[in-house]
């Protein structure tokens, strides 16, 4: 089975074939998710919340992500491996290059950074130097204290236009993948249609090119509350591998996300 690359995902987009992504933080879950057909695995800074028990992602360090990236890398045969760059690890292009080096050397195939306009120079520099970039806009959890909570973004016309412009600019700067989080489905569709690169949604409706969820939500073990846009697939299947297969199948068939997982 050949490795998933950004070219594979671009081909999926062009063919209208929806693809599936999941977070993973260790080799065993990574191997299971990979063998059940998950196309993209993300070592997310969500690990600060679901593994470390913090109430946001800000305490996560580059070494935390590097450690889990090394673990996940050993479990993968096929999936594309993305590593999140933590809060303030890419505040300047120079810091971004230093810290992206650590994550790429830990086994990542690509790094993900949260931000719009201010990030363009960094995206260009990383890409030019051989680091593939996935950009992340909309609800960017590292800015939770600026937003005043984990709130849906882009609901008014002005912010919707700004987010669409950011998406286009990030693609032009060299980003090869884009995550859009917690935005209205109509805006997510407009972004996915406007871009050539594949767009992965979370809480962004059914019309993005791919979907991503946090594994703990899919397996119903997030402590406390599970975001409205997420879905516990263990409940309907009773077995981890079957839960992952159900998620893959429902994304492929367009069943997930449904209206109840979608913001307008």
Q: Does 181 qualify as catalytic in the annotation?
A: yes
46 is in an annotated binding site: yes
Site for Mg ion in 208-247 (CB under 5 A): none
Please identify, among the stretches 95-103, 144-152, 156-164, 245-253, the one whose residues bind ligand MHF according to the rule CB under 6 A. Answer: 144-152
From 41, 60, 62, select the one nearest 49 (Cα to Cα): 60
Q: How far apart are CA 248 and CA 51, in angstroms?
A: 24
- CB of 231 vs ligand KIV, minimal distance in Å: 14
Confirm or deny that 112 is annotated as ligand binding.
Answer: yes
Give the nearest distance from C-beta 193 to ligand MHF in angstroms.
24
| CB-based contacts of 33-38 (< 8 A; 24+ apart in sequence) | 33/79, 33/215, 33/244, 34/75, 34/76, 34/77, 34/78, 34/79, 35/77, 36/241, 36/244, 36/245, 36/248, 37/244, 37/245, 37/248, 38/79, 38/244, 38/248
Entry field: residues in the chain:
264
Contact indicator for 170, 116 with CB cutoff of 8 Å: yes
Site for ligand MHF in 206-245 (CB under 6 A): 214, 216-217, 222, 227-230
For residue 112, give both structure tokens: 């993900």
Report in angstroms how near the CB of residue 206 gets to ligand MHF at its nearest: 16
What's the helix, strand, coil split of the chain in %, to 5? 45, 15, 40
Distance of closest approach, residue 30 Cβ to ligand KIV, in angstroms: 14
Q: Does 44 bind Mg ion (CB under 5 A)?
A: yes
Helices (H), 132-197: 144-147, 157-173, 185-194
Q: State yes or no: residue 116 binds Mg ion (CB under 5 A).
A: no
84 is in an annotated binding site: yes
Residue among 38 and 179 whose Cβ is closer to ligand KIV: 179
For 186, the 3-state DSSP assignment is helix
User: Annotated catalytic residue: which of 36, 166, 181, 250?
Assistant: 181
Q: Considering only residues 17, 151, 168, 241, which one is a binding residue for ligand MHF as defined by CB under 6 A?
A: 151
The piece of 3-11, 27-35, 146-154, 161-169 that touches ligand MHF (CB under 6 A) is 146-154
What does the binding site for Mg ion look like in residue numbers (CB under 5 A)?
44-45, 84
What does the binding site for ligand MHF look like in residue numbers (CB under 6 A)?
46, 49-50, 57, 139, 141, 150-152, 182, 214, 216-217, 222, 227-230
């Amino acid at each position: 089975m050949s490795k998933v690359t950004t070219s594979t995902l671009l081909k999926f987009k062009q063919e209208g074939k929806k693809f599936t992504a999941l977070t993973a933080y260790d080799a065993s879950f990574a191997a299971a998710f990979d063998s059940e057909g998950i196309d993209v695995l993300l070592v997310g800074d969500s690990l600060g919340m679901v593994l470390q028990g913090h109430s946001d992602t800000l305490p996560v360090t580059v070494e935390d992500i590097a450690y889990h990236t090394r673990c996940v890398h050993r479990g993968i045969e096929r999936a594309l491996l993305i590593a999140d760059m933590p809060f303030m690890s890419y505040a300047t292009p120079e810091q971004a290059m230093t810290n992206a080096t650590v994550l790429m050397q830990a086994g990542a195939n690509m790094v993900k950074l949260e931000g719009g306009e201010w990030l363009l120079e960094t995206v260009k520099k990383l890409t030019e130097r051989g680091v593939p970039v996935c950009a992340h806009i909309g609800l960017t959890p590292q800015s939770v204290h600026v937003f005043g909570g984990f709130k849906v973004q882009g609901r008014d016309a002005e912010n919707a236009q700004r987010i669409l412009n950011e998406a286009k600019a990030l693609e032009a700067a060299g980003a090869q993948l884009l995550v859009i989080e917690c935005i209205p489905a109509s805006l997510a569709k407009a972004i996915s249609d406007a871009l050539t690169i594949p767009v992965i949604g979370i809480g962004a409706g059914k019309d993005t090119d791919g979907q991503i969820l946090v594994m703990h939500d899919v397996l119903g073990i997030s402590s406390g509350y599970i975001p409205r846009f997420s879905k516990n697939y263990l409940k309907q299947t009773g077995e981890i591998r079957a839960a992952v297969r159900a998620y893959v199948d429902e994304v492929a068939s367009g069943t997930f996300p449904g209206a109840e997982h979608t913001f307008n």
